[in-house]
Amino acid sequence: MLRLFVAFLVCVGPLARADYMDHFFIREDVGNHKAPYLGDAQVLLIPIEVAGFPPIDEAALRTFFSPEDPNGFVKYYETASLGRYRPRVTLAPKVSYASCPLPAAQFPTCAVARGDINAFTAGMDMMREAVKKTDEAGFDFSAFDVNGRRGTADGWIDGVMLLTNVPFGGIAFPFAYFNRGDNLAGGTGGPLQVDGLKLGHFAIAGENDRFVMVHEFGHLLGLTDLYDESGTYDGLALSVMGSWGYDPNIPLPDAETRFRLRWGNWHQVQGRQRVTIHPAETTGELYRLGVGDEYFLVENRGPGGAFDRGLPERGLAIYHVDRTVKLGGNEGQFVERILDCVNCDPWHPYISLQQADGAFEIERNRRFGRGDLFGTGEFLRPDPRNLAVSATNMANSTNLWSGAQSGFLIDDVRVLPDGSIEVMLDAPATGQCEERLCAEGEGCAPITCAEAPKREGCSTGEGLGPALALLLLLEQRFRRREQGVLRGA
């Protein structure tokens, strides 16, 4: 989400009305805070065209937002969710302007610069007017509430997107939180009300950029930004909410995002297990090591199908997750997450992608690439020095951010010819199976959580203790040195 309104947030102060994009710190707030993310949904797309800018290609929009486009919006969300979320998008009549609807004195070219506070009042007026014009044209909004927190209509529109042709990036805007003006139903403040339904949030994209809309709509589903707004580094790779460049190579959501959305088939690791993990794009499989707020997630990612095709190779993606990092569910707390994003610290973000080559290029403001996913023969093991990964300790490990050893082991990775990946996973032998995301339904509980059968004979990594861990550190340093030589560093 663009930091378009940071200064505005500071000016209005901490209003206590509604929160959004908390990455499911609070789950039971679909409606006023989040759009439904499971089941069928009716979503509205309103095109806004201003004369003098490249016209909106409505045919291209109809294709991209139709369920028939294998590379489009609907198929993306159906694939990412394993068919558990099924949006259907209706293209509303185009809202046209003969000239820029923003004040000419402040926006002479109609371009909205990043961080421009002057766009707020005029921008909110334009959002309100777009809905009003669409309603006055005879469009029936009442058909756009088929889902809610209980899986049935709840009085809130399932989702609204505004796509314009003016120079503007993208934003997911909590209109109801900031509205002090007309609500279109004879009152003031709060959500817009039209045809008996409430509308609290918009996903907005400019310059006809339908790919940006895929990301911005994720905010309506409750997701926060996982790139680095501060510009220190790119942020989380392998995520539609992360450092994706808004091109046709749309990445799937990362494992933590799919886990929280209940879009994954997740397995909780207890004891030592050798498992076969199938590609995320076809099975949604992910394995979780640890419980509580800090844990590791493992999934199989690589090029294949309509999405993730931009990845350089197939391998195991390993994430270190810490939900104590700047997340919170109090109403209005999204302001703090925008001012100080959850993935802004490369050395201790909310979700950190572990890199197999040990070069820590992502943290050092370089790009995700070949060698970052874990391939055959690679592993992630404890650091016996009881140190966390940091700018002064660039050594991969399964240690917690406190430096304490977690008891996790990810060992003996083998990428198989059919695209599946075998790996040895090790977590504490007890106390791992009780945690649930919710009371009932798909994705609420792990598919499996049990100790693997007892092993016989020697096993990779067991009993070697500090010597093995020190060997790991030496190997990582050798790899970094070797890469530096190959790159001419």
* Cα first-last separation, the chain: 35
Q: One-letter amino acid identity for 372?
A: D
CB-count exposure of residue 459 (10 Å: 0-12, 13-18, 19+) = middle
State whether 204 and 308 are in the same domain: no
- Using the predicted structure, report yes or no on whether residue 221 has a pLDDT greater than 60: yes
Task: Among 220, 235, 269, identify where a domain stops.
Answer: 220
In a domain, 227, yes or no: no
Q: Considering the entire predicted model, what is its pTM?
A: 0.89
State whether 177 and 264 are in the same domain: no
- Using the predicted structure, report yes or no on whether residue 454 has a pLDDT greater than 70: no
- With bands split at pLDDT 50, 70 and 90, how would you rate the model's confidence at 19? confident
State whether 195 and 341 are in the same domain: no
State whether 193 and 334 are in the same domain: no
- Using the predicted structure, report yes or no on whether residue 105 has a pLDDT greater than 90: no
- Using the predicted structure, report yes or no on whether residue 342 has a pLDDT greater than 70: yes
- Using the predicted structure, report yes or no on whether residue 53 has a pLDDT greater than 90: yes
- With bands split at pLDDT 50, 70 and 90, how would you rate the model's confidence at 458? very low
DSSP, residue by residue, 24-61: TSS-S-BTTTB---SEEEEEEEEEEEETTSPPP-HHHH
Sheet containing strand 294-301, strands side by side: 265-268, 285-289, 294-301, 315-322, 351-354
In a domain, 179, yes or no: yes
Q: Quote the radius of gyration of the chain (alpha carbons, Å).
A: 24
In a domain, 489, yes or no: no
Task: Among 220, 242, 276, identify where a domain stops.
Answer: 220
State whether 421 and 291 are in the same domain: yes
In a domain, 409, yes or no: yes
